[in-house]
Amino acid sequence: MSNKRSNSFRQAILQGNRRLCSKALLEEKGLNLSQRLIRHVAYETLPREIDRKWYYDSYTCCPPPWFMITVTLLEVAFFLYNGVSLDQFVLQVTHPRYLKNSLVYHPQLRAQAWRYLTYIFMHAGIEHLGLNVVLQLLVGVPLEMVHGATRIGLVYVAGVVAGSLAVSVADMTAPVVGSSGGVYALVSAHLANIVMNWSGMKCQFKLLRMAVALICMSMEFGRAVWLRFHPSAYPPCPHPSFVAHLGGVAVGITLGVVVLRNYEQRLQDQSLWWIFVAMYTVFVLFAVFWNIFAYTLLDLKLPPPP
């Protein structure tokens, strides 16, 4: 018998003993700080007791939740660098040199494909960055601890790309900045998972916490809408679009929900996964062709390059 199989066998025996004594993980006493943290994360993210116990028994913090932490640190670092170079930290987007940065998505420079992803490292101001960082750490890190960097990174990046492509289709003259597409994908998937498994989710104050999360998301979305229609500091180019938020939500309630509902299960075995992957692929292909042909066919007047 291989080591891997024997470890799995021991885990199964331990899991069976737990079920036989019908003792909930929440009732266990004498846990140290790290064990209580792992238990807390399990109850925050998983709706089934068997999955919570399995996660609690098998989690080793190796590797740690490096993806969300790395992305967050990079976003903060780029923001501080831009703040120093522009000598402005509040509403950086109003600075005349802001859009000259090669990371920002700009409709005139849409052929530079990296901008559909790198715009997440540029934020409109400290008020924009602050809320995104808080949501990434409070929601993204626990999700990554449970589901792993690959799955959570997939949902996050899919939300980011969907956000910029949605802007290029629905708000064609506007630039895009900020990581809201990825953040809204994760938060929307998490909230939808809680609602769909309401009776099984045992996190404390879940109704209050959902309300707080929705209020924070609404405030951020409202700020983005207000900024989009506020008179631009550098006409004729408008302020950044808010449509990326909606692209992130669409990814969260489709691909994201399937990922979060299938803990320790192969996504490729889920028919719903392939349906949503196909829908996402069709949208990406449509947006690519739209970017190639629609701007010319519609004879759209775009703002000048920065």
Q: Report pLDDT digits (tens) over 106-121.
A: 999 999 999 999 999 9
Question: Which pLDDT band holds residue 199 (cuts at 50, 70, 90)?
Answer: confident
* 193 found inside a domain: yes
- Residue 3 is predicted with a pLDDT of 35
Closest by alpha carbon to 161, among 291, 262, 41, 36? 291
Q: What are 142-173's pLDDT values in tens digits?
A: 999 999 999 999 999 999 999 999 999 999 99
**Per-residue pLDDT at 47:** 87
Structure tokens at 235: 């006409």
Strand-pair partners of 176: 105
The answer as to whether 227 is a domain residue is yes
Instruction: With respect to residue 2, please indicate whether it lies within any of the assigned structural domains.
Output: no
Q: What is the pLDDT of residue 154?
A: 96
Q: Residue 296: what residue type? A: T
Structural domain range at position 190: 63-298
The tokens describing 99, both together, are 């859009």
Is the pLDDT score of 69 beyond 50? yes
Query: What pLDDT, in 10s, does the model give residues 252-305?
Result: 999 999 998 888 788 888 899 999 999 999 999 999 999 999 988 988 888 888
Is pLDDT at 25 greater than 60 in this prediction?
A: yes
- The yes-or-no answer on residue 239 being catalytic is no
Q: 103 with 122: CB under 8 angstroms?
A: yes
Percent of the residues in the chain that have a pLDDT greater than 90, as a whole number: 56
Does residue 38 fall inside a structural domain?
no
Q: Which of 180, 188, 239, 241 is catalytic?
A: 180
Q: Tell whether 87 is covered by a domain.
A: yes
CB 105 within 8 A of CB 115: yes
Whether residue 39 is contained in a domain is answered as no
pLDDT at 238: 86
pLDDT value at 82 more than 80:
yes
- The CATH number covering residue 83 comes to 1.20.1540.10
pLDDT band at 102 (very low <50, low <70, confident <90, very high): very high
Average pLDDT score, the chain:
87
Task: Give the bridge partners for 181, in sequence order.
Answer: none
CB atoms within 10 A of CB 212: 11
φ and ψ at residue 176, rounded to 5 degrees:
-140, 135
How many Å apart are CA 252 and CA 188, to the nearest integer?
A: 5
Active site residue 106: no
Asked if 45 and 260 touch (Cβ cutoff 8 Å), the reply is: yes
Question: How deeply is 33 buried, as exposed, middle or buried, from its count of CB atoms within 10 A (0-12, 13-18, 19+)?
Answer: exposed
pLDDT tops 80 at residue 5:
no
Closest by CA to 176, choosing from 123, 252, 235, 248, is 123
For 56, 120, 165, 262, the CA distances from 72, given in Å and listed in that order, are 26, 10, 22, 26
CA distance 143 to 132: 16
| Element counts in the chain: helices (H) and strands (E) | 13, 0
34 occurs within a structural domain: no
Please check the confidence at residue 10 and state whether its pLDDT lies above 70: no
Q: Are 186 and 251 in contact (CB under 8 A)?
A: no
Q: How confident is the model at residue 183 (pLDDT cuts 50, 70, 90)?
A: very high
3-state DSSP helix/strand/coil percent for the chain, to nearest 5? Answer: 70, 0, 30
Q: What is the mean pLDDT of residues 230-253?
A: 89
Instruction: Decide if 107 is inside a domain.
Output: yes
Query: Which of 106, 190, 239, 245 is an active site residue?
Result: 245
| Closest listed residue to residue 92, CA positions, set 100, 84, 83, 101 | 83
Q: How confident is the model at residue 23 (pLDDT cuts 50, 70, 90)?
A: low
pLDDT of residue 299: 85
> For position 105, what pLDDT does the model report?
96
Domain total for the chain?
A: 1
d(CA 262, CA 4): 22
